[in-house]
Copies of this chain bind each other. A is one copy, B any other.
Amino acid sequence: MSTDTPDDPDSTASTNDQRARQQLLELAAQFYDQFADGDVPSMSVPTRSKSNIEYDPEKGVWVLGDRNTTRSANSVGGAQKLLKAIYVIEFLADQLDQDRSSTLRELYYLSESWDLDAAQFNSQDESNQLVEDLEIVADVTREDFHMRPEESGATVIGPLFLREQTRRGEREIHCQEDVGEGGYQIPNNPDTIEFLDHDAEFVLAVETGGMRDRLVENGFDEDRDAIVVHLKGQPARATRRITKRLHDELDLPVVVFTDGDPWSYRIYGSVAYGSIKSAHLSEYLATPQADFVGIQPEDIVEYDLPTDPLSDSDVNALESELEDPRFQSEYWTEQIELQLDIGKKAEQQALASRGLDFVTDTYLPERLDAMGVL
C-alpha cells in the first residue's frame, strides 16, 4: 500500500488553467507586438508531417523533429489562418475564465456564430488542426484548454481509491467497492483525478470488453491485485493518460493485453510509444515502460488457439511493422516473422477454447510470471 500526494488538485487545476490562459494571451500579444513594430504577423509551428516525426530511442517515444512551418499574414490564406487562431484564442481564454469546456465538434459549429465570416471554419479538420497548433505553440494540452473529446467510455476496476474533482464537487470513489460491475468511468480529463490510495501490484490494460468482463467475473483484479483498465480498442487520450499516471505516480508496472494481430500490436504501440498523430504529446500520454502480454504469435502455437487466416491487409500491416522503429527489437522481429510464417491470427477470447478460467488460471499467470510481473 502506497500513495503519492500531489498538491491540492483544486489549486493545481486552476494553476493549469491560468497557465494555459496566460500562454494563449501571450500568443495574441505577440501578434499585437508584431503589428506595433510594423512587422507582418506570423506564428511558427513545428511541422507535423510524417517526415518530421522521429522515434526518440532514449525516451522510447515518438517526438516532433526540428522543422518548422510558418503561418504568416503575408498571404491571404496565411492571414486567414492567423485570424481564425485569434478568434479561437479569444474563445478558449473566455472558456477558461468561465471554467467551462466544449468539444472539438462544438468549436467547429460555434465558429458559425462568429461575426466575421472569414474567421469561420470550413471543416472540422481545420478547427481540429488549429487546436493542435495551439497545443504545441502554447506548450499546453488540449485538456488544459478544456477541450473535450467526443466520447470514450473506457473504464477502470481494481484496488484503487481516488478523488475526482467534478463540477459538482469532489467525489471519492473506490474502484471496486463504490462501483457496479461496469467499473469506474474514466472522465474526459483524468487530470481531475487524484490517486488517494491503492493495493495494486500492477496495471493490466485490456483491449476488448469481452475480455475485460471475463477478468472481472473471474475476480482477477481482486485475486491478483490488478488495476484493470479497459482500452476499448484504440485507446482515447484520457485512457492513455490515466494509464501513464498510474505508472508514473504509483510506480506500478503496466502490461497490455490485446488480440494477436497487427492492429492490436499498434494498440500496444500507442500505449507504450505514442502515436504519430499525437507525437507532440508523447511525454504526456505514452508509457514507454509498458510491456506486451499477448496474444503473442508464439502463444497461438504454444496454446494451440483457434485462429483466423491473415488477410492481405494483415500481412501488409505486419510487414510495415517490421520497418516501424517502435517494433525494432529482437522480440518483435521474432514474433512478427513467426506470425507471417504461420499465417494466422487469434483473438483474446480464443483462450475460451481452453475453458472460461484458462485465461485467469493459466495463461495470464504464466505470461506475467515469465515477464517478472507476478
Binding site for B on A (CB under 8 A): 100-103, 105-107, 109-110, 112-113, 148, 150-155, 164, 166-168, 171, 173, 176-188, 192, 208-210, 212-214, 217, 219, 222, 230, 232, 306, 347, 349-356
Contacts and interface: CB of A to CB of B under 8 A. Distances in A.
Given A151-B209, A153-B232, 10 more contacts: A101-B217, A105-B349, A109-B352, A112-B353, A113-B354, A113-B355, A148-B213, A152-B209, A180-B185, A181-B192
Given A178-B178, A182-B187, A213-B188, A353 B151 contact: no
Contacts of A109: 306, 347, 349-353
Given A164-B181, A181-B187, A217-B167, A353 B113 contact: yes
Contacts of A152: 209
18 contacts: A102-B356, A103-B210, A103-B349, A105-B210, A106-B349, A107-B352, A109-B349, A109-B351, A110-B355, A112-B353, A113-B354, A148-B210, A151-B213, A152-B209, A164-B181, A168-B176, A178-B178, A185-B185
Contacts of A213: 103, 148, 151, 188
B180 A352 contact: no
Q: Pick the most buried of A183, A186, A209: most chain B CB atoms within 10 A of its CB.
A: A209
A217 B182 CA distance: 22
Contacts of A105: 210, 347, 349, 352
B150 A167 contact: no
Contacts of A187: 180-182
A30 B97 CA distance: 71
Nearest to A171: B180
A167 B220 CA distance: 13
A182 B185 contact: yes
Which 8 pairs of residues, A with B, have the shortest CB-CB distance? A151-B209, A182-B185, A153-B153, A106-B352, A112-B353, A164-B180, A109-B352, A103-B210
